Chain A
Amino acid sequence: MEPWTADQVEALAPDAASVTAGRKVAGAGWAATGQGDDALWGLARGSGASPYVTCVDLHEAGAPAYRCSCPSRKFPCKHALGLLLRWARGEVEPGEPPDDAQDWLTSRRGRGERIVERVQAAAVRAAKPPDERAVAAAAKRAAQRRDHVTSGLAELDRWLADQVRSGVAGLRSDPYAAFEPMAARLTDAQAPGVAAWLRGLPGLVVGGPDWPERLLEELALLRLLVRAHVRLDEIEAAEPALAASIRTHVGYPVSKESVLALPGVRDRWAVQGRRDSAVAQLSQRTVWLQGEQTGRMATVLAFAPPGQQLDASLVPGRVVAGDLHFYPAARPLRALVSSDALDGGRHGPPHAGFVGDALAAVADALAADPWTRSVPAWVVGTPVRHTSGGRDGWAVRDELGDALLLRPGGDLWGLVATAGGRPAALLLEWRPGGWAPVTAATTWQETASPATTGAGR
């Protein structure tokens, strides 16, 4: 069992205080520790008379499970973190687990093995020579889904026309009630992508004074998606990548296995930024990566029910050396990390360009996929205050004098403080509502001129 790095372990911590507490526990306070069979255990001296039994199951790579008899409500607790940190330093010897730990591991693995058995059974079924009846059944299910989606989207098309006929001004009085029935209908019609899109629109309607035109943009693109779906077979034949994007936007499922089966893109992928958000009662983590050799951007998404740990295997500041498998799309961005990728040490400065490069990247992405909702871009620029249209805010201005206006919110002030009024490499994200700051590169040096590292020129 290859030990993790301390950075990887610390990324599991629920907060900064836990990291320091974990470091302290790692150093001292163990009556005994041991490892074996993809698990770590230890007896932690606490304030009580009997030690806490701490156990970490590393059976499933990237998603450790923890158990500790301490009363802490933090998860993982400092003992689990301390034990992992100790292991990262190579200070945990092989040995036999105590009974408590063994019982827990056995019951956990029992559950896990049942799942594995089910998966294997499914794999065996899949590997069998194609049974004509099974193939026919699968084709029938796919056709049924397609029919459901088609009828749902047809209904959406009529609904969109109704809104425009009677005027979208009426939507403002109770936007949530206005959009929810249609969104629910599309969930039933197995088009979850469109349903989620519709559920995001009330927030836009209650937003700023430019809401009518921003809403019209969204309604128009929804209508465009409906029309594209009608011609899906035709598009599939001519431009399969665009068809994949359309399927993704509508919400056809794409299995992880099918993505991992596609050829990977090998590079040293720098983990540059991370943002957690809540989307429809799920925690979502977006991690931005950039290939150190190619300058190509990628995002890796992780989801978890509220209160549960998001996958923390990608640690900002580190490099993942190996393959990324991109989800099929007209402009592939979302990806999965190959299971055999390795930690490649700390990453260097990003590939960054001018404002013009960032705008060109957005134009390219939209030309390939007009429904694109996120384009990341590194820009070397200076945060500058501006007043335009009566509203003041921040912009990023490059040394050519071109600027992008930033949306308020996010860690805008962190960006401003880090740059200190001088040029810095800034990771920005284009979204339909404008540019938002993600992070500033603290490792970026002024000596690296964008002209030599410019991406996309």
Chain B
Amino acid sequence: MSAWDDLVACAVQGTARRVPDVARWLPELGEDAAVLGGEPPERLLDAAALLTARRRAGRLPVIGLVPAEPAPAESRPTAPEVSDLLELLDSALLPELLDGLQERGLIVAPEAITTLLAVTSTNLLAPALAACGARGPWLHAQLCEADPERWATPTRVSTGDDEPWRLGDPATRLQWLAEARRAIPDQAVDAAAAALSGRHESADFRSKVVTLLADDPRPEDEPLLQAALDDRAKVVRTAAAQALQRGRYAAYAGRMGARVRDWVRLHADSEGRRVLVVEPPVELDDAARRDLGPSAGSRSEWLTTAVAATPLRVWADLGTAQEACELLATPEWEEALREGWARRALTEDDAGWARALLGTSPAISTPARLTRVLPMTLQAAVAKSLLMQLSGVGASQAVDWLVATAAPWPPDLLDEVLAALPSILRDRSARGSQLLHRIAYAEHPGAYRELERLAPELGPAQIAPVSRAITTMRARLEIRQALDASAARVAAERADQHHRTGVPDPDPLDQPDQPDQADQPDRSDQPDPRSPA
């Protein structure tokens, strides 16, 4: 035991219990021992003070540490201009910042990396690390080592072995199945089939397997889904029917088409005009009940569901989509029929039908999502006509429409929406804040000035969402400006270097991973295998 350890031990227990071994300290304390105090506690403290000064001042360097592999050499220029923005970044804007960096071939400055990672949620970790350049994955490996729980990215299921499928919890098994459908589709079909027919799988798990199949529809799944229509559990039968209705499965669509054409027939009326006679059955037969699933509901729902599951080409005898939509139909069922067509137009991504339905129906009653199928110019036209009709009554549907349209709007549509905004905001039923949210996050951020100009027209209750939107847009504008400033500086530096050396720069788009040799003193470093390709 050293003198110091003895002192610590005595101090912890107290000199009343443990008397310090003075004689043993003397050689270590040397001539300084002469200044020690009289009583044991004082002697102990004085000796400890002498040793403390020596311990603190006499620290030797630690030796034998081996430096790890340094971060790989960096090829992309940094954007210190965005560093300041990171600390207070609205996390909803992080994707925009990361995309902007990537588009311009820039990375964040090394000293800002920890700030970036601090504002990054796990689901954005991969793109955020990519925005750190070669240093990102390098730093991430170190962070994982220090604190795996905080930093580990969700592990991808390896499809190499099916142990996760055989032994995992339900979530892991579904994750494996989803991966397997991409990597090893044949094996995945077998696994899904086994799960759906297995006696030991829970109904909940079977219905989740069905839903998983429907999320990424493939023709080879149809036999499995057809079989699931006869499942013993209602929840599985419902999921299977919905999956088949949403997808494009040949046999099912064929059965539905035949059934629907029996319910919806083309006739000539007394004046020789072509009309659609619509008459869903009063009661479903067994086959129809099986196909529509246990949650089919009322007669009009049967009709809508069956039409939505029927390929649009089945209606070819009615003429073009436009002509079909203009036909007179049995008034009682007209709306249910159109709703079914609209859903099918979405399933088949059919702009012709979408346009026809929007043009001829009382537009506002058709699902807003349908606008997505239209080409942008048409979306704008429809949206504008809606804005024209705004008179309080239809505002909420108009907002649904506008929110559903693809971003960004053409400039003239944006102008019209902004002009209509005060009246939309005044209408409390219109969900104007949704519209503002959409404008704030998806439209050109420069439009915040127009929002500012609206402020005098707004009441106190409407100011808050507008000023939130302005804040968001200004933050987005700042991000763009900082990114553009970085890109401009980098371009100027490249041009300058080019001017001075006369050596043409490699085109950054052609050779994105070529080290910029002039800036890299240590290009002999081996590229790190963890760096992104």
By a beta-carbon cutoff of 8 Å, the part of chain A in contact with chain B is 15-17, 19-21, 24, 47-49, 160-162, 164-170, 212-213, 215-217, 219-221, 223-224, 227, 355-356, 359, 362-363, 366-367, 370, 382, 384-386, 388, 392, 395, 397, 401-405, 411, 413-414, 416-418, 420-422, 432, 440, 442, 446
Report yes or no: B145 in contact with A366, Cβ–Cβ below 8 A.
no
B465 at the interface (CB under 8 A from A): no
Q: What residues of chain B lie closer than 8 Å to A416, measured between beta carbons? A: 139, 142
Can you list 6 A-B pairs with a CB-CB distance of less than 8 A? Answer: A20-B85, A404-B61, A414-B113, A417-B110, A432-B56, A442-B109
When the two chains form their complex, are residues A413 and B143 in contact, meaning their CB atoms are under 8 A apart? yes
Q: Which of A48, A356, A362 contacts B56 (CB 8 A)?
A: A362
Closest Cβ–Cβ distance, residue B156 to chain A (whole Å) = 26
Set B14, B16, B48: member contacting A219, Cβ < 8 A: B48
The answer to whether B70 touches A422 (Cβ under 8 A) is: yes
Instruction: Report Cα–Cα, A86/B381, bound state, in Å.
Output: 45
If the complex has contacts A223-B42, A223-B49, are A164 and B522 also in contact, measured as CB distance less than 8 A? Answer: no
How close is B475's CB to chain A, nearest CB, in angstroms? Answer: 8
Q: Which residues of B contact A414 (CB under 8 A)?
A: 111, 113-115
* CB contact under 8 A between A166 and B57, given known A15-B88, A221-B49, A420-B138: no
A417 to B521, CA, bound (A): 18
Contact of B40 with A by CB under 8 A? yes
Main secondary structure of the interface of B (DSSP, over half): helix
Asked whether A20 lies within 8 Å of B71 as measured between CB atoms, the reply is no
Given contacts A47-B452, A386-B62, contact A440 B49 (CB under 8 A): no
With A and B bound together, what is the CA distance between A170 and B13 in angstroms? 9
CB distance from A444 to the nearest CB of B (A): 12
B61 touches A356 (CB 8 A): yes
Q: A385-B68, A385-B145, A388-B62 are in contact. Are A165 and B135 (CB under 8 A)?
A: no
Q: Are A385 and B142 in contact (CB under 8 A)?
A: yes
Partner among A169, A405, A411 whose Cβ is within 8 Å of the Cβ of B62: A405
Tell me, rounded to whole Å, the shortest Cβ–Cβ distance linking B519 to chain A: 12
The 5 closest A-B pairs by CB, nearest first: A167-B14, A421-B70, A402-B61, A220-B48, A420-B71
| The residue from B44, B48, B66 contacting A384, defined by CB atoms under 8 A apart | B66
Q: How far is B9's CA from A169's CA once the two chains are assembled, in angstroms?
A: 10
Q: Could you tell me if A217 and B52 are in contact, using CB atoms closer than 8 angstroms?
A: yes
Identify 7 new A-B residue pairs, CB closer than 8 A, beyond the known A167-B17, A384-B65, A432-B56. Answer: A162-B41, A170-B14, A359-B59, A370-B53, A405-B62, A420-B70, A421-B68
Chain B residues with CB under 8 Å of A15's CB are: 87-88
Q: Contact at A359–B61, with CB atoms within 8 Å?
A: yes
B110 lies within 8 A of A47 (CB) = no
How many Å from the CB of B75 to the closest CB on chain A? Answer: 14
- Bound Cα distance from A127 to B405, whole angstroms: 80
Q: Judge whether B110 and A420 touch: CB under 8 Å.
A: yes
Which residues of the partner chain B approach A215 to less than 8 Å between Cβ atoms? 11
**Chain B stretch 138-170: residues in CB contact (< 8 A) with chain A:** 138-139, 142-143, 145-146
Query: B62 to A16, Cβ gap below 8 A?
Result: no
Number of A-B contacts (CB under 8 A): 175
A355 closest partner in B (C-beta): B61
Inter-subunit contact B45/A384 (CB<8 Å): no
State the Cβ distance, B481 to closest chain A Cβ, in Å: 9
Identify the closest chain B residue to A15 (Cβ): B88
For the complex, is B34 an interface residue (Cβ under 8 Å from A)? Answer: no
Asked if B317 CB lies within 8 Å of chain A CBs, one says no
Q: Which residue of A lies closest to B44 (CB)?
A: A164
What residues of B have a CB within 8 angstroms of the CB of A402 in the complex? 61-63
Q: Are B65 and A19 in contact (CB under 8 A)?
A: no
Partner of A417, one of B42, B66, B113: B113
Closest-CB distance, B59 to chain A (whole angstroms) = 6
**Distance (Å) between the CB of B462 and the closest chain A CB?**
12
Chain A CB within 8 A of B467 CB: yes
Are the C-beta atoms of B71 and A440 separated by less than 8 Å?
no
How distant is A436 from chain B, measured CB to nearest CB, in Å? 15
Chain B 47-100 interface residues, beta-carbon cutoff 8 Å to A: 48-49, 51-53, 55-71, 84-85, 87-88
| Shortest distance between the CB of B177 and any CB in chain A (Å) | 38
Please give the distance in Å from B304's CB to the nearest CB on chain A.
48
Contacts of B115 in A (CB 8 A): 414
* Whole-angstrom distance between the Cβ of B461 and the nearest chain A Cβ: 15
| Cα-based distance from A161 to B14 in the complex (angstroms) | 10
How near does chain A come to B104, taking the closest CB pair, in angstroms?
Answer: 19
Is B455 part of the contact surface with A, judged by Cβ < 8 Å? Answer: yes
Residue of A19, A216, A359 near B11 (CB, 8 A) is A216
Q: A345 CA to B455 CA in the complex, in Å?
A: 43
- Which chain B residue lies CB-closest to A364? B57
Q: Could you tell me if B45 and A219 are in contact, using CB atoms closer than 8 angstroms?
A: yes
CA distance A99 to B467 in the complex (A): 30
If A16-B87, A355-B61 touch, whether A421 touches B14 (CB-CB below 8 Å) is no
Is the pair B12, A169 in contact by a Cβ cutoff of 8 Å?
yes
Tell me which residues across on chain A come within 8 A of B135, comparing CB atoms.
417, 420
Complex contact A160–B45 (CB within 8 A):
yes
Contact B52 A212 (CB under 8 A): no
A213-B4 in contact (CB<8A) = yes
Please tell me which one of the listed residues B14, B111, B452 contacts residue A442 in the complex, with CB atoms under 8 A apart: B111
Chain A residues with CB under 8 Å of B40's CB are 165
Contact of B14 with A164 in the complex, beta carbons under 8 Å: yes
Tell me the minimal C-beta distance from A280 to chain B in angstroms: 24
> What residue of chain A has the Cβ atom nearest to residue B47's Cβ?
A220
Note all chain A residues with C-beta closer than 8 A to B15. Answer: 164-165
Binary A-proximity of B419-460 (CB < 8 A = 1, otherwise 0)? 000000000000000000000000000000000100110000
Q: Is B8 engaged at the interface, CB distance under 8 Å to the other chain?
A: yes
In the complex where A161-B42, A216-B48, A220-B48 touch, is A421 in contact with B71 (Cβ < 8 A)?
yes
Indicate whether B382 reaches chain A with its CB closer than 8 angstroms.
no
Please determine whether B57 and A161 come into contact, CB atoms closer than 8 angstroms: no
Report the bound CA distance from A167 to B11 in whole Å: 5
Q: Which residue of A lies closest to B58 (CB)?
A: A363
Separation of A199 and B49 alpha carbons in the complex (Å): 20
Closest chain-A Cβ to B73's Cβ sits at a distance in Å of 10
Any chain A CB within 8 A of the CB of B335?
Answer: no
Partner of A359, one of B51, B60, B64, B68: B60
From residue A423, how far is it (CB to closest CB) to chain B in Å?
9
CB closest residue in chain A, given B111: A418
Interchain CA distance A216-B478 in the complex, whole Å? 54
A181 to B65, alpha carbons, bound, how many Å? Answer: 45
Q: State whether B53 touches A216 (Cβ < 8 A).
A: no
Q: Does B221 contact A (CB under 8 A)?
A: no
The reply to whether the CB of B329 lies closer than 8 angstroms to some CB of chain A is no
Task: Tell me, in angstroms, the Cα distance from A422 to B523 when the chains sit together.
Answer: 13
Is B370 part of the binding interface, using a Cβ–Cβ cutoff of 8 Å? Answer: no
Find out whether the CB atom of A216 lies under 8 angstroms from the CB atom of B8: yes
Residue B7 is within 8 A (CB to CB) of chain A in the complex: yes
Chain A residues with CB below 8 A from B456, complex form: 49
- Residues of chain A with a CB closer than 8 A to B16's CB: 165-167
User: Which residue of B is nearest A371, CB measured?
Assistant: B53
